Amino acid sequence: MELPPLSWGIMGAGRVCHDFVQALKSIPHAAKVKTVGCRELERSVEFADQHGIPNRVGSYEDVAKDPEVDICYIGMLHPFHYENAVTALQNGKHVLVEKPSTCSECDTKALVRLAQEKGLFLMEGMWTRFFPAVEKAQELVKSGTIGKVVAVHSDFGFNGGDVANYPDHIFYNLNLGGGGLFYVAPYPVAAAMQFLGPAFPSRIAAAGVKDKLTGVDLSGAISLHFEGKGIASLTYNIEAETPEETIIIGTEGRIKLLSPAHCPTAIEVTTKAIGRGNTTTIRHDFPLPDPPASVDASGGFNYPNSNGFQFEAAAIHKCIRGGRTSSDQYTPDEMLAVMHVLEECRTQLKIDSVE
């Protein structure tokens, strides 16, 4: 017997919320959007009409209070994640909060504690984990295909300048969480955490570039050491497009999540024989399913591979319908460890104020 779909309330009406709602249309057995709300009622109305959402409200709080909603998708700018996730939990809703979960380790810890107290499901939206390509990589690593994992290299960067109006774009607004560390770095940090964690790294060492005018960080290189495991070499960039790959390096081979590695549809598995360069590489493809016609009709997607949000949503459906308050594929401990790394990097990069 198929379990009833989760009823989603969408907090926010921006580009990510749009893509998330579009992806849910591919899994009607698991997800139904009941409500959308943001601070301007007319934007909620417009969003609701576009996507056929029955309830539309003029505040985030009203989403949390809607009795028809099982789970809130927290999709507004990250400086507002914490307060709205708290509101959702306080109102008895499960929560999927976009990356980064909050803007500080302390806030994320409080969120995790509150969800536990309330017995509610909580996850940061690290949708990467739920792509079949990533699940395959995880499975190969666990089965020992590449030996012992000793390093993870991961990068994510794009040229913010070529799509945004500098310095007015949100990317460059320090007070609204601008900068690459919080917008982009969660992905490579979470990639390292997946294959070398979950744990707080024993060493975190970062170097980065700050924008002289706006004070936001434009790029960073993060070196991590996980005790007894290995190293991670991570970069993020909002000045330039990087290859965007995640490479998991083991003593007997390596696995590459091909670009776009934060939402990949293909991996390359390289296994090695004795001697440098004696390797064999096999590629595995996991193409995204075609979205239903209603997705095209309501404006398609804003970002690459957004149809892949459905994998995350379907997994959450299983967790919640199975009585779970977290997912094994991205646990509250990982969410905390990722935030710990981001916060330490922010300190090292001195991103607290405009200079």
Binding site for a copy of itself (CB under 8 A): 147, 150-151, 153, 155, 157-159, 161-163, 201, 203-209, 218-225, 230-235, 237, 239-243, 247, 249-254, 256, 259-260, 272, 274-277, 279, 304, 348
Query: Do the strands 122-124 and 94-97 form a parallel or antiparallel pair, or are they unpaired?
Result: parallel
Are 352 and 104 within 8 A, CB to CB? no
Are 94 and 320 within 8 A, CB to CB? yes
Comparing CB distances to a copy of itself, the nearer of 159 and 175 is 159
Comparing CB distances to a copy of itself, the nearer of 73 and 156 is 156
Return the SS3 of 39. coil
What is the nearest approach in angstroms of a copy of itself to the Cβ of residue 42? 29
What is the nearest approach in angstroms of a copy of itself to the Cβ of residue 151? 6
Distances (CA, A) of 137 to 78, 267, 326, 343: 29, 7, 21, 28
Return the SS3 of 228. coil
Comparing CB distances to a copy of itself, the nearer of 72 and 247 is 247
In sequence order, what DSSP letters do the residues of 99-163 get, joined into one string?
SSSSSSHHHHHHHHHHHHHHT--EEE--GGGGSHHHHHHHHHHHTTTT-SEEEEEEEEE-BGGGT
In sequence order, what DSSP letters do the residues of 270-296 get, joined into one string?
EEE-SSTT-EEEEEEE-PPPPPPHHHH
Comparing CB distances to a copy of itself, the nearer of 36 and 345 is 345
What is the nearest approach in angstroms of a copy of itself to the Cβ of residue 186? 17
Comparing CB distances to a copy of itself, the nearer of 37 and 308 is 308
What is the nearest approach in angstroms of a copy of itself to the Cβ of residue 217? 10
Which one-letter DSSP state was computed for residue 244?
-
What is the nearest approach in angstroms of a copy of itself to the Cβ of residue 289? 20
What is the nearest approach in angstroms of a copy of itself to the Cβ of residue 146? 8
Comparing CB distances to a copy of itself, the nearer of 140 and 224 is 224
Task: Calculate the dihedral angle through the C-alpha atoms of 130, 133, 137, 138, rounding to the nearest 10 degrees.
Answer: 10
Cβ count near 164 (within 10 Å): 14
What is the nearest approach in angstroms of a copy of itself to the Cβ of residue 162? 5
Comparing CB distances to a copy of itself, the nearer of 125 and 188 is 188
Alpha-carbon distance 318 to 74, whole Å? 19
Half-sphere exposure of 28 (CA within 13 A, CB side): 4
Comparing CB distances to a copy of itself, the nearer of 77 and 151 is 151
Residue 225 bridge partners (DSSP): 203, 231
What is the nearest approach in angstroms of a copy of itself to the Cβ of residue 239? 5
